[in-house]
Structure 1
Amino acid sequence: MDTTVKGRNKWANAHTNYWLDALRIALGVFFIYKGASFITNTGEFDGIVASTDYFNGGMISFHYIAAAHIMGGIMIIFGLITRWAIIAQLPILIGAVLVNFIGEMNANNLILATLTLAVSLFFLFYGSGKHSADYFFKMNK
């Protein structure tokens, strides 16, 4: 089996189905929802940061998280540069998992963050699939 990105894309396009596209779209919608929720609930962010007194750059990370979730979610929904959008999400998702071990443990948040990280890692390797803007633009060169 070809281990290059092009080879993985060929395999993924040959074995694609609509469930994976629906999962990719649901992931994008979830990121948009979490980004909007993050903006409207700034007190929740303050509570998370308060548990780690040594955390610097709170306002910078707040804006990065909100923008990455909303813009990344839109790109993931359309399948437009999906891998890059997910790479922008990875530091946030890893931080979401780790914050449960640094601060107060919240089992629901840990499970949700771990599941989202797992699905994101799947699409990082799988790609956006055959029913995406990436595939459309690649075929219409």
Structure 2
Amino acid sequence: MNITHRLQEGYVSTTDLVVTILRIALGIVILLKGIFFLSHSEYLGNLIRHTNFELKTQFWISYIAFAHLFGGVFIILGLITRFACAIQIPVLIGAVFFVNPAQGSQTSTFEIVLAIVVLILLVYFLIKGPGKVSMDESLKKFLL
């Protein structure tokens, strides 16, 4: 049975649906942030230069932008979700504890709250997994 049939026949509980919606929303936010960072790499470079991680700035710009792009897509699909979350967590820890405090009053409250919420959701999906409505679950059932 594929995902649409399970949804139509009511095999997916409300909790599973909420977890799926949260996972997809998280993936979209991360993907959009990756697109923003890729198109505004000088902005991301300035953010990194204001922290103590000035060395290897180009490496961090590339890592953050591509981790967000690919990680966002994988989280949306629910494919290798735990790995996608694991590569996002160091970036978000850096954003919460190093980048936002280094900017001081220039950082909006929305950005700080968004970074904290995204970090909490990433840790949740790293521990719990993608949920029942995901590519990981479909592949597990198909392969077993």
Give yes or no for TM over 0.5: yes
Superposed displacement of residue 108, structure 1: 2.5
Q: Distance in 2 between matches of 1:133 and 1:72?
A: 14
Identity %: 36
Give the aligned residue type for 1:27: L
Superposed displacement of residue 39, structure 1: 1.0
Within 5 Å, which residues of 2 pair with 1:61-100?
Answer: 61-98=60-97, 99-100=99-100
- TM-score, structure 2 normalization: 0.81
CA shift in 2, pair 1:54/1:29, >3 Å = closer
Q: Which runs of 5+ in 1 are unaligned?
A: 1-12
Between 1:127-136 and 1:43-52, the stretch displaced more is 43-52
Q: Distance in 2 between matches of 1:46 and 1:134?
A: 35
Give the aligned residue type for 1:55: E
Superposed displacement of residue 61, structure 1: 0.7
Give the aligned residue type for 1:63: S
Equivalent residue number for residue 48 of structure 2? 49
Establish whether residue 112 from structure 1 lines up as the match of residue 111 from structure 2: no
- TM-score, structure 1 normalization: 0.83
Which portions of structure 1, spanning 4 or more consecutive aligned residues, are displaced by more than 3 angstroms?
13-16
Give the aligned residue type for 2:100: N
Q: CA RMSD in A?
A: 1.9
Count of matched residue positions in the alignment of Structure 1 and Structure 2: 129
Within 5 Å, which residues of 2 pair with 1:10-49?
Answer: 16-49=15-48
| Residues 63-109 of structure 1: CA deviation (Å, up to 9, x unaligned) | 11111111111111111110000000011000010122234352322
